[in-house]
Chain A
Amino acid sequence: MNGPLLWVKDGARDPKANMALDEALLAGDGAWLRTYRWVPHAISLGYFQKPEDFADLPADLPRVHRITGGGAILHANEVTVALALPEGLLPGPVADSYALLNDAVVRAVAEHGAAIHRAPPRPRSDSRWCFAAPTHLDLTDTDGHKVFGSAQRRRGGRILWHGSLILARHELTAFTGHLPGILADSLAPSLARELAATLGLELRRANAPAFSRPTKSLPLVEIEKHLAAGAIESAAEDAGAVAVENEEIVASDTEAARPGE
């Protein structure tokens, strides 16, 4: 067994802090999983999406760019996962890696008595929203609405996989699926266990990593402030926790600029 998958069972954080943490996990070493939520609720834009295309939405909803691609997501009542690991742990075509990870999500949700499924093949949607039209690499609820969407960034031999599992619909994105009655804090451990088992890695609890360099998403001083404050709303402790480690992640300072920046 390769080892370990370091799991940060995080609470809710500011949108920019969430993106900065994940960017640092991509730039670091080893295999990391972070499960988390968003306060305030926010819209994350895919890497190549333009903020002006979302000018019609309420101004008090913060916008943040993901380092991963795809469409925009309104992060409200959901569990978000960020998995960062060497490409060698997910070899082969990108689509195969989605199938593998999606199956782990299906099993995790099943532990809570809900059934979600792979969506049938269909042409790619031109919608600006990630959850507007499921493809065969997405998961839907029993009504056929997309309930889990994900996207990857591949850089320097590593993969960052972002996934959002919708627990309750937001009025602005009422086209999404949902998983009524399931709590984020109870779902996160199931996701962690199933993803670790799928990857053949030992699951080990870890604290949010310390940073030694700024990420593109947030200056170092801001990241340190967020980490010192901890998650906005601490996640409940999981009885299944096996270990806690502190790891230092060194973020890359050689990233290409996003178009338009």
Chain B
Amino acid sequence: MASSAPSDRKYLASHEWAKDQDGEIVVGITDVAVELLSDLVYIDLPPVGKKVTQGEVFGEIESVKAVSDLVAPVNGEVTASNEDLADHLDDLAQDPFDKGWMIRIKSDGEASLDALMDAAAYVKHAAVE
């Protein structure tokens, strides 16, 4: 499946993106994730202050026929949650790399984005989905 993954961020195999912005990590899901899930109906994001752990679930998203986990790219604390998203899932469907951001994380520094895929590697990974 073709992805137009921007090169200014890193990616997880489970189709989340993570962008270092002003010292915090902004997190969302990719265009391929949106296409795989299709019709999005519900999202559950963590509140500000919630601790998240790299590789573990930070939220859940439901499409018409599947509930899927959202996986955190780093350890840290949630500093912002896109509360508008639940009522505007179209934003996520149409603009997953910008308007569709989900949370910001203040990383505790123990796990960096270095280990994640860059855009080129992610595009290759997504092509076989």
Proximity bits, A94-130, B CB within 8 Å = 1, else 0: 1100100000000000000000000000001000000
Residues in A56-80 with C-beta less than 8 Å from chain B: 67-70
Task: Determine how close the nearest CB of chain B comes to the CB of A160; give it in whole angstroms.
Answer: 9
Q: Does the CB pair B36–A69 fall under 8 Å?
A: no
Query: Chain B residues near A94 (CB, 8 Å)?
Result: 36-38, 63, 65-66
Give the docked Cα–Cα distance between A68 and B38 (Å). Answer: 16
A154's partner among B38, B39, B59, B66 (CB-CB below 8 A) is B66
Q: Does the CB pair B67–A69 fall under 8 Å?
A: yes
In the complex, whether B95 has a CB less than 8 A from a CB of chain A is no
Residues in B79-112 with C-beta less than 8 Å from chain A: none
**Chain B residue with Cβ nearest A254:** B56
Q: Does the CB pair B65–A255 fall under 8 Å?
A: no
In the complex, whether B129 has a CB less than 8 A from a CB of chain A is yes
Q: Does the CB pair B62–A48 fall under 8 Å?
A: yes
Query: Chain A residues near B48 (CB, 8 Å)?
Result: none
Give the docked Cα–Cα distance between A135 and B37 (Å). Answer: 16
In the complex, whether B120 has a CB less than 8 A from a CB of chain A is no
- With A124-B39, A256-B57: A98-B69 Cβ-Cβ less than 8 Å: no
Task: Determine how close the nearest CB of chain B comes to the CB of A199; give it in whole angstroms.
Answer: 17
A98's partner among B44, B56, B58, B65 (CB-CB below 8 A) is B65
Task: Determine how close the nearest CB of chain A comes to the CB of B41; give it in whole angstroms.
Answer: 7
Proximity bits, A80-104, B CB within 8 Å = 1, else 0: 0000000000011111001000000
Q: Does the CB pair A135–B64 fall under 8 Å?
A: yes
Q: Does the CB pair A93–B36 fall under 8 Å?
A: yes
Query: Chain A residues near B1 (CB, 8 Å)?
Result: 92
In the complex, whether A175 has a CB less than 8 A from a CB of chain B is no
Task: Determine how close the nearest CB of chain A comes to the CB of B37; give it in whole angstroms.
Answer: 6
Q: Does the CB pair B57–A124 fall under 8 Å?
A: no
- With A48-B44, A259-B44: A137-B68 Cβ-Cβ less than 8 Å: no
Proximity bits, B1-35, A CB within 8 Å = 1, else 0: 10000000000001000000000000000000001
Give the docked Cα–Cα distance between A69 and B67 (Å). Answer: 6
Query: Chain A residues near B37 (CB, 8 Å)?
Result: 93-94
Query: Chain B residues near A256 (CB, 8 Å)?
Result: 57-60, 69
In the complex, whether A226 has a CB less than 8 A from a CB of chain B is no
Q: Does the CB pair A69–B69 fall under 8 Å?
A: no
Q: Does the CB pair A153–B44 fall under 8 Å?
A: no
Q: Pick from A91, A152, A154, A157 the residue with the most CB of B within 10 Å.
A: A154
In the complex, whether A181 has a CB less than 8 A from a CB of chain B is no
Give the docked Cα–Cα distance between A153 and B64 (Å). Answer: 11
Give the docked Cα–Cα distance between A69 and B60 (Å). Answer: 11
Q: Does the CB pair B129–A124 fall under 8 Å?
A: no
Give the docked Cα–Cα distance between A93 and B66 (Å). Answer: 11
Q: Pick from B37, B58, B68, B128 the residue with the most CB of A within 10 Å.
A: B68
28 inter-chain pairs at a CB distance below 8 angstroms, sorted by A residue, are: A47-B60, A47-B62, A47-B67, A48-B44, A48-B62, A67-B67, A69-B65, A70-B65, A92-B1, A92-B129, A93-B35, A93-B36, A93-B37, A94-B37, A94-B63, A95-B38, A98-B65, A124-B39, A135-B64, A151-B65, A152-B67, A153-B67, A154-B66, A155-B68, A155-B69, A157-B14, A256-B60, A259-B44
Chain A to chain B: the 9 pairs with minimum beta-carbon distance, closest first: A152-B66, A69-B67, A256-B57, A154-B68, A69-B62, A94-B66, A47-B67, A155-B69, A153-B67
Further 16 A-B residue pairs, CB within 8 A, beyond A69-B62, A92-B36, A154-B69: A47-B60, A48-B62, A48-B67, A69-B42, A70-B65, A92-B129, A93-B36, A93-B37, A93-B38, A94-B65, A94-B66, A135-B64, A157-B14, A254-B56, A254-B57, A256-B60
